[in-house]
């Protein structure tokens, strides 16, 4: 099993390029230097040489304190995780002959899921000869979409996939979770 490893930042002697574009602590560009000269300049200032853009030609290195760099990087990642919106896909299963009460009950659940900010996949499952009456399933899904249209919109339209007919709904307005 392969585990994706996060690319580690190269520091000081780990930098493999022969020449680098050097940036000062305050963000001013110093120019293109050999790695040895860049390390000497960083050493004179009591800082580390950190490769911040290894894919650039020549690679970009910055003179910074490595501890401070790691701290700021962790802070940025934490803010990104905090602002990330997690959306789950909830599934509601129906049959072409689902009763009115069951339909209402499942529609109410779908409304709750959508208000929480989750996607909802509504599936009408056909058994045996019911597959000959796909228009009943399509009617049921259209009725379901109509029932939740004030809080949801259709992301993936109604389609038949094997013995299942599906539609995927997403919340029309994203509300923040309490």
Model confidence at 174: pLDDT above 70: no
Q: pLDDT at position 3, please?
A: 46
Average pLDDT over residues 10-26: 86
Task: Assess contact for 19 and 33: CB atoms under 8 A.
Answer: yes
Nearest CA to 145 among 117, 176, 175, 124?
124
Would you place residue 124 in the very low, low, confident or very high pLDDT band (cuts 50, 70, 90)? very high
- Name all domains of the chain by residue range, CATH numbers in brackets: 12-72 (3.10.20.80), 89-171 (3.30.110.10)
pLDDT per residue over 47-81, tens digit each? 888 888 888 888 899 999 888 888 988 998 898 88
User: What is the band of 163 on the pLDDT scale with cuts at 50, 70, 90?
Assistant: very high
Sign of CA dihedral 66, 68, 71, 77: negative
Give the per-residue pLDDT at 56: 85
Q: Give the per-residue pLDDT at 126.
A: 92
Give the count of alpha carbons within 13 A of 148, CB side only.
32
pLDDT of res. 6: 53
């Amino acid at each position: 099993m392969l585990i994706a490893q996060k690319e580690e930042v190269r520091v000081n002697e780990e930098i493999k390029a022969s020449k680098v574009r050097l940036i000062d602590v305050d963000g001013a560009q110093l120019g293109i230097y050999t790695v040895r000269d860049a390390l000497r300049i960083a050493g004179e200032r009591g800082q580390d040489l950190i490769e911040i853009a290894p894919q650039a030609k020549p690679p970009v290195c910055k003179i910074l304190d490595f501890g401070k760099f790691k701290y700021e990087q962790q802070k940025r990642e934490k803010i990104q995780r905090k602002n990330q919106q997690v959306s789950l896909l909830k599934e509601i299963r129906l049959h072409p002959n689902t009763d009115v009460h069951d339909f209402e009950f499942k529609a109410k659940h779908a409304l709750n899921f959508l208000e929480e900010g989750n996607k909802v996949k509504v599936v009408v499952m056909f058994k045996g000869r019911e597959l000959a009456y796909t228009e009943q399933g399509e009617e049921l899904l259209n009725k379901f979409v109509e029932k939740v249209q004030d809080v949801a919109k259709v992301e993936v339209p109604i389609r038949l996939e094997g013995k299942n007919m599906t539609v995927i709904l997403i919340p029309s307005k994203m509300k923040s979770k309490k």
